[in-house]
Amino acid sequence: MPKFETHRPVKHSPKQMYDLVADVEKYPEFLPLCEALTVRSRKERDGKTLLIADMTVGYKAIRETFTTQVLLNPEELAIDVKYIEGPFRYLDNRWRFEPAGEGCKVHFFIDYEFKSRILGAVMGSMFDRAFRMFAEAFEARADRVYG
């Protein structure tokens, strides 16, 4: 049951970082292991957006696609990802963005477990490293986009 949590200060505003993480269609351009991401549906309600998205991740010869529900809440600068289907037993992912000095503090949390012990053994260590690099990948992307 791997978990990873980080709190990173960045020089960009909470709104800028929220917008960057909320732009899920761009993930294949910069996110480790992410080969494709397709938004199946998008519903707007009460200032929030609910996405159903398929993400394909790959490492060497292994490719897996999983489906998540992504709740974008710009008012609270919060993004919550819930697992729907794919190779995981469960996946819970949360992003929060708080003002901090000239920039913000990015809170990233992920908790997951693969259904298959074999897939977990093969992909687990790579996923763990990739998740640890996610916050850095988003920060580097923000530096490129926002300067």
pLDDT in tens, 46-71: 999 999 999 998 877 888 899 999 99
For residue range 65-120, list pLDDT tens digits in order: 999 999 999 999 999 999 999 999 999 999 999 999 999 999 999 998 888 887 77
Total domains in the fold of the chain:
1
The predicted-structure confidence for 10-23, as pLDDT tens digits, reads as follows 999 999 999 999 99
Write out the residue range of the structural domain in which residue 120 sits: 3-146
pTM: 0.90
Dist CA 35 CA 55 (whole Å): 8
Separation between Cα atoms, residue 146 and residue 28, nearest integer Å: 19
> Residue 55 maps to which CATH number?
3.30.530.20
* pLDDT at position 33: 85
CA atoms within 13 A on the CB side of 103: 14
